[in-house]
Copies of this chain bind each other. A is one copy, B any other.
Amino acid sequence: MFKIVSLKNGIANVDGFYCDAVNCGLRPNTQQGDLAYIRSDELCNIAAVYTSNKFCAAPIKHALRYGKLFEGNFVLINAKNANAMTQKRGIEDIEEILSNLPNGLNIKNPVMSSTGVIGYRLPKEKIISGLQKLDFNAKNSDKLANAILTTDSFKKELCFKVKLEDGSSFTIAAVAKGAGMINPAMATMLCFVATDAAVPKEDIQSLLKEAVDESFNKISVDGDTSTNDTVLLMSNGKSGAYDKEAFKIALKRMLFELAMMILKDGEGSNKVVAFEVVGAKSDQEAKIAAVNLSNSLLVKTALFGADPNWGRIASTIGASGIECDEEKLKIYYDDLIIYSSEYPELDSEREEKAYKIMQQDSFKIRCDLGLGDGRYTAYGCDLSYEYVKINAEYRT
Contacts and interface: CB of A to CB of B under 8 A. Distances in A.
Contact of A315 (B182, B224, B392, B393): B224
A324 B55 contact: yes
Contact of A302 (B85, B184, B324, B326): B184
B226 A307 contact: no
Interface-centre pick from A52, A319, A389 (highest chain B CB count, 10 A): A319
Contacts of A302: 184, 391-392
Contacts of A85: 311, 314, 326, 339, 344
Contact of A317 (B55, B82, B317): B55
Given A185-B311, A309-B395, A326 B53 contact: no
B119 A55 contact: no
A305 B396 contact: yes
Contacts of A246: none
A316 B212 CA distance: 22
B394 A55 contact: no
A217 interface: no
Contacts of A53: 315, 318-319
Interface in A261-312: 296-298, 301-302, 304-307, 309-312
A307 B121 contact: no
A362 interface: no
Interface string A313-345: 011111101111011000000000001010011
A164 to B, nearest CB: 41
Contacts of A322: 54
Instruction: Determine how many copies of this chain the complex contains.
Output: 2
A249 interface: no
Interface in A180-202: 182, 184-185, 187
Contacts of A384: 388, 392
A227 B310 CA distance: 13
Contacts of A133: none
A120 interface: yes
Given A326-B85, A341-B87, A392-B305, A184 B298 contact: yes
Interface in A346-396: 346, 355, 383-385, 387-389, 391-396
Please name the 3 residue pairs, one residue from A and one from B, whose CB atoms are nearest each other, closest first.
A118-B311, A55-B318, A305-B392
Given A87-B344, A184-B301, A224-B315, 11 more contacts: A54-B319, A54-B321, A87-B327, A117-B309, A118-B310, A184-B298, A224-B316, A224-B319, A304-B392, A307-B395, A309-B395
